[in-house]
């Protein structure tokens, strides 16, 4: 097991009707900015619940944060925060709204002249103005971690940021919100969370037995609840298991003491930047092919995953490992997630060159748990995904 440091101070309020407890979690006298996305919270009742809960606060709002939160839009919110001297941010939404709020939390206290530097350099966020979240879309785990990913449309960039100052003070997880989420977003959420686990698990064996088993627990739970929640989003028990699994998949716990990869995300982000494909779907496109391409690096863990997750008990390490990749791809297909780039866009042929060039241009020479994935490898992996 590798040495590790772990601290996650976010308070989780999980279950039915927790939004009503919001007022107790925000310091009295706060000037609150509520941030949200495209407005679905106005049709599913969450907007009203939040407004009712915060009746005693000086409350402003900023809607319209899109999926893959855009820097240009967030800069408008930042101007509002500064002008109105906001003291507390409340993200009401999914990972995009929460990630955007994290950027704002950090940028509001950033003393440099160009907030994009937080992402471009990047600058670790040791502090931020306090914020909480009301999660409306389980997927990214952003509600219980200190990282964010922000997009800049003008330069087609999608970059990460984070730091110990960016944990939410609290996050409210009411699984009843899942009733009104469209099916394709449920599928995205399952795929995103499942791939988060894979990125922290599908590396090389590191003598971290408990972390492996907890990672496997999350994957087993997602596989078990996926068909239930895809069929009936009002199944509260399945909604609970789905929601909590998404949070646990990326709250830092399973990555402690083990190597992690994250190259599927790095490559996937380029597919979103170029083609605007849903984040989760880019992961489903890349992951199976990355595992095929880096098979020798990952075959021991792939075989363990084959045995424990997919009950593949016979065959060589290589045979089990290969079968597990096929099972993974079939799992994504069972969620109606397509796993070929050409199924998303007719204009796919330059994608491998684009992704490889972008990784080169940023001075990144290597990805993966062994730092042995070069831009040339990225080219080949993306090409395999056409």
Residues that bind a second copy (CB under 8 A): 1-16, 18, 175, 207-211, 213-214, 216-218, 220-221, 224-225, 237, 240-241, 244-245, 248, 256-257
Closest CB to a second copy among 11 and 42?
11
Closest CB to a second copy among 251 and 328?
251
Shortest distance (Å) from residue 378 CB to a second copy: 32
What is the phi/psi pair of residue 238, to 5°?
A: -65, -35
Closest CB to a second copy among 24 and 42?
24
| Look-up of token digits 């772990």 | 6
Note if the bond before 120 is cis, omega within 30 degrees.
no
Shortest distance (Å) from residue 382 CB to a second copy: 33
Closest CB to a second copy among 170 and 291?
170
Shortest distance (Å) from residue 245 CB to a second copy: 5
Closest CB to a second copy among 197 and 312?
197
| Look-up of token digits 């080169």 | 360
CA separation, residue 155 to residues 152, 162, 270 (Å): 6, 21, 12
CA separation, residue 314 to residues 93, 131, 311, 318, 323 (Å): 44, 50, 9, 11, 10
Shortest distance (Å) from residue 18 CB to a second copy: 7
3-class SS string, 121-159: CCCCCCCCCCEEEEECCCCCCHHHCCEEEEEEHHHCEEE
Closest CB to a second copy among 5 and 114?
5
CA dihedral angle for residue 83, residue 57, residue 111, residue 252, rounded to 10 degrees: -140
DSSP 8-state assignment for residue 67:
S
Please provide the distance, in angstroms rounded to a whole number, between the alpha carbons at the two ends of the chain: 37
Shortest distance (Å) from residue 225 CB to a second copy: 7
Closest CB to a second copy among 25 and 319?
25
Shortest distance (Å) from residue 212 CB to a second copy: 8
The DSSP bridge pattern shows strands 157-162 and 147-152 to be antiparallel
Closest CB to a second copy among 244 and 295?
244
CA separation, residue 40 to residues 44, 185, 217 (Å): 6, 13, 32
Shortest distance (Å) from residue 304 CB to a second copy: 13
User: CA nearest 216: which of 92, 105, 313, 301?
Assistant: 301
Residue 5: burial class (beta carbons within 10 Å; 0-12, 13-18, 19+): exposed
The DSSP bridge pattern shows strands 131-135 and 31-35 to be unpaired
Question: 10 Å Cβ neighbour count for 3?
Answer: 6
Closest CB to a second copy among 210 and 365?
210
Shortest distance (Å) from residue 350 CB to a second copy: 41
Point out which residues pair with 196 in neighbouring strands: none
Cβ atoms of residues 96 and 68 within 8 Å: yes
Closest CB to a second copy among 37 and 168?
168
Shortest distance (Å) from residue 81 CB to a second copy: 26
Altogether, the residues listed in the chain come to a count of 386
């Amino acid at each position: 097991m590798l040495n590790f440091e772990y601290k996650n101070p976010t308070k989780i309020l999980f279950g039915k009707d927790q939004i009503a407890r919001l007022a107790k979690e925000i310091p009295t006298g706060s000037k609150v900015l509520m941030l949200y996305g495209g407005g679905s919270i106005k049709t599913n009742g969450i907007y009203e619940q939040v407004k009712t809960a915060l009746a005693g606060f000086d409350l402003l709002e900023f809607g319209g944060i899109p999926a893959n939160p855009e820097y240009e839009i967030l800069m408008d919110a930042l101007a509002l925060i500064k002008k109105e001297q906001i003291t507390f941010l409340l993200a009401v939404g999914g990972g995009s709204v929460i990630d955007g709020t994290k950027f704002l939390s950090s940028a509001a206290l950033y003393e440099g002249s160009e907030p994009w530097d937080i992402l471009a350099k990047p600058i670790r966020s040791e502090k931020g103005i306090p914020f909480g979240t009301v999660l409306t879309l389980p997927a990214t785990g952003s509600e219980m971690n200190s990282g964010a990913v922000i997009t800049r449309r003008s330069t087609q960039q999608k970059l990460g940021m984070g730091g110990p100052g960016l944990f939410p003070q609290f996050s409210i997880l009411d699984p009843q919100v899942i009733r009104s989420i469209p099916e394709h977003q449920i599928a995205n959420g399952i795929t995103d969370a499942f791939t988060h686990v894979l990125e922290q698990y599908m590396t090389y064996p590191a003598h971290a037995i408990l972390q492996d088993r907890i990672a496997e627990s999350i994957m087993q739970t997602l596989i078990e609840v996926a068909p239930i929640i895809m069929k009936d989003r009002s199944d509260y028990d399945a909604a609970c298991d789905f929601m909590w699994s998404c949070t646990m998949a990326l709250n830092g716990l399973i990555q402690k003491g083990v190597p992690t990869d994250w190259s599927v995300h790095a490559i996937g982000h380029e597919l979103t930047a170029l083609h605007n494909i849903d984040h989760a779907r880019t992961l489903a496109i890349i992951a199976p092919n990355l595992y095929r391409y880096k098979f020798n690096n990952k075959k021991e863990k792939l075989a363990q995953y084959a045995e424990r997750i997919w009950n593949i008990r016979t065959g060589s390490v290589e045979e089990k490992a290969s079968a597990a990749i096929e099972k993974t791809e079939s799992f994504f297909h069972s969620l109606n997630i397509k796993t070929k780039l050409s199924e998303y866009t007719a204009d796919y042929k330059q994608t491998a060159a684009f992704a490889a060039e972008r990784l080169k241009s940023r001075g990144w020479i290597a990805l993966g748990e062994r730092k042995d994935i070069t831009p040339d490898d990225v080219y080949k992996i993306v090409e395999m995904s056409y």
